[in-house]
Amino acid sequence: MKKIVSILTLCMAITVLQAQVSKTVNVTAATLYSLLTDTEKNSITNLTLTGTINACDFKTMRDNMPALAVLDMSGVSIAAYNGTGGTYSTSSTTYPANEIPIYAFYTPSTGSGKTSLTKVILPLTATSIGICAFEYCSGLTGDLTIPNSITSIGKYAFIFCKGFNGSLTIPNSVTTIGDYAFWGCSGLTGSLTIPGSITSIGNYVFNGCSGITGSLTIPNTVTSIGYRSFEGCYGFTGSLTIPNSVVSIGIQAFNFCEGLTSITISKSVTSIGENAFNCKGLTSIYTYSTTPVDLSSSSYVFVLVNHTTCILYVPMGSKTLYQAADQWKDFVNIVESPTAIPNINMATIHIYTNHISDGFYISNIDGTALLQLTNLNGKVLLTKQVETNEFISLSSQPRGVYIVTINTPQGIMKRKIIKE
């Protein structure tokens, strides 16, 4: 009888970690390739540059240094270049001085970014970041710091750099941000501050930046908000004010910004694109225009908004116009308020509790008012017309902190109450 012996072979996966290879190089424009040996070009992980570089040197770093991870260019200046040896080599191209060149770390022929990069420190003398400079550089991590010398950020500059896992600071020196500049940078976190130097927000600029949190402030220098510019920014919370400088709001500009609970639209706005405010978390909308913005050619502007619980506040004397206007008329609660939306003195209307676990009474209301009860997450729990000395029951609500908002023709009062 033949005996068969089975031998089990254990295959062990071995991970080889490449040791960091650091080098500092003083460069004269277009000499980086010749200053490094082939071994160095293949092995350098951390590179610090001083001196002067141009688009040819960026091509060397992009195409000939596969292990390059950390790049410090803070000590260099960027010289102008014209020719076929730069990062867009299919034709003779002019590369301006002091600009991170077009396609600096993105290869258009393959559609791939330099994913080995994890950190880049930009030149302190650079004034612009070129088109597609860091497109698909998904390995970049940490904060994104843009020097104060930068005045313009080109189209697609950081598109789909999903690896960023820190904050984004746009300095006051920046006057122009191109379309799609930060599209898909879902790892960016913290609040977003748009400097007062910006006059327009382009199409798709912050689309898909779902990790950015907190409130959003749009400076009163901005005149237009482009298509889908903030679409999918789920982390925005609280209120949003469209300043008096803005004339147009593009298609799907704030689509799916589910954390927004209140928006204020200034009277300067004359056009709002379709799906612009599909924000299901909205509980209040304030519009200052006495004549409703014509939405007949912009479908579904507020389609995800709960038209029953979200209150539309309009200027005094304009309620009838809004009740007849396309899409505005869909809101069940349209309330006239002073355009300044003042807060009522707490001495005017009183909220006093009745055995705090049960509910509360409201007194000193002249006629009727609109009451809204929300939790601290902005969820609307109750919306109703109330009269003076009316009892508002909290028996169906759990223990916790709630916000009571009372709207009258004279203004708005908010009060925090606690159910114990």
**Cut 0.85: pTM above it:** no
User: CA triplet 244, 249, 255: central angle to 5 degrees?
Assistant: 125
Indicate the CATH number of 189-341 among 3.80.10.10, 3.40.50.1820, 3.40.640.10, 3.40.50.2000: 3.80.10.10
Q: For 189-223, write each residue's pLDDT tens digit.
A: 888 889 999 999 999 999 999 999 888 889 889 99
Size of the chain in residues: 420
| Percentage of residues in the chain having pLDDT higher than 90 | 65
Torsion of CA 190, 192, 193, 198, to 10 degrees: 160
CA 315 to chain centre: 30
Q: How far is CA 16 from CA 13, 19, 46, in A?
A: 10, 9, 18
Overall fold of domain 350-419: Immunoglobulin-like (2.60.40)
**Cα gap 382→379, rounded to integer Å:** 9
**Cα gap 152→18, rounded to integer Å:** 37
User: CA triplet 227, 229, 232: central angle to 5 degrees?
Assistant: 115
End-to-end Cα separation, the chain, in angstroms? 84
Where is average pLDDT lowest: 37-51, 71-85, 129-143, 348-362?
A: 348-362
Break the chain into its structural domains and give their ranges: 189-341, 350-419
Amino acid at 329: K
Whole-number average pLDDT of the chain: 89
Amino acid at 219: P
Give the per-residue pLDDT at 17. 52
**CB-count exposure of residue 399 (10 Å: 0-12, 13-18, 19+):** exposed
Give the per-residue pLDDT at 350. 72
Q: For 266-300, write each residue's pLDDT tens digit.
A: 999 999 999 999 999 999 999 999 999 999 999 99
Backbone phi and psi for residue 366, each to the nearest 5 degrees, phi listed first: -90, 105
